[in-house]
Amino acid sequence: MKKISVAYVCVHNSCRSQMAEAITKEIASDFFEAYSGGTETKPKINQDAVRIIKNLYDVDMNQTQRSKLIDELPEKLDVLITMGCNVECPFIPCDFREDWGLDDPTGQPDEVFLNTADIIKNKILSLKERIESGEIKIKKD
């Protein structure tokens, strides 16, 4: 089966979208090909997010990921997830688009990052389930 391409988009591609990319690769790499990008970038990924993901999944995002522009995403995606940045994302071709409306945990205590990571994990699992059940239709190329 062809993996479903999913991209997580946020303004700076430095926190929530990076966390979502890393978590997807850890819990659903058999189903999803995960990417992330932003309309702007930061010099480095949010270091609190890096630390939390390292503690939860033993993944060092400083080694495996970097802040990227949406121009680096594949030309055609199956699924596009916006993280809730309160900005209008440019048009990116996809079969399904959804906004997760997540508040940015930057500058907040670890509990907020942990909660954000847990919400992201549950939303990834729900997304996978909805695709598998046919609730979300993805074109098979």
Written as one string, the DSSP assignment of 109-134 is -HHHHHHHHHHHHHHHHHHHHHHHHT
Q: For all residues of the chain together, what is the average pLDDT? A: 94
Assign residue 75 the CATH number of its domain.
3.40.50.2300
- The answer to whether residue 141 sits within a structural domain is no
pLDDT tens digits along 43-98: 999 999 999 999 999 999 999 999 999 999 999 999 999 998 766 667 789 999 99
Q: Which domain holds residue 53?
A: 4-133
Q: Which one of 9, 89, 102, 117 is the catalytic residue?
A: 89
94 annotated active-site: no
- The answer to whether residue 46 sits within a structural domain is yes
Answer yes or no: are the C-beta atoms of 24 and 53 closer than 8 Å: no
CA distance 34 to 29: 8
Number of domains in the chain: 1
15 annotated active-site: no
Q: Establish how many alpha carbons lie within 13 A of residue 101's alpha carbon, considering only the half-sphere containing its beta carbon.
A: 0
- The answer to whether residue 82 sits within a structural domain is yes
- The answer to whether residue 140 sits within a structural domain is no
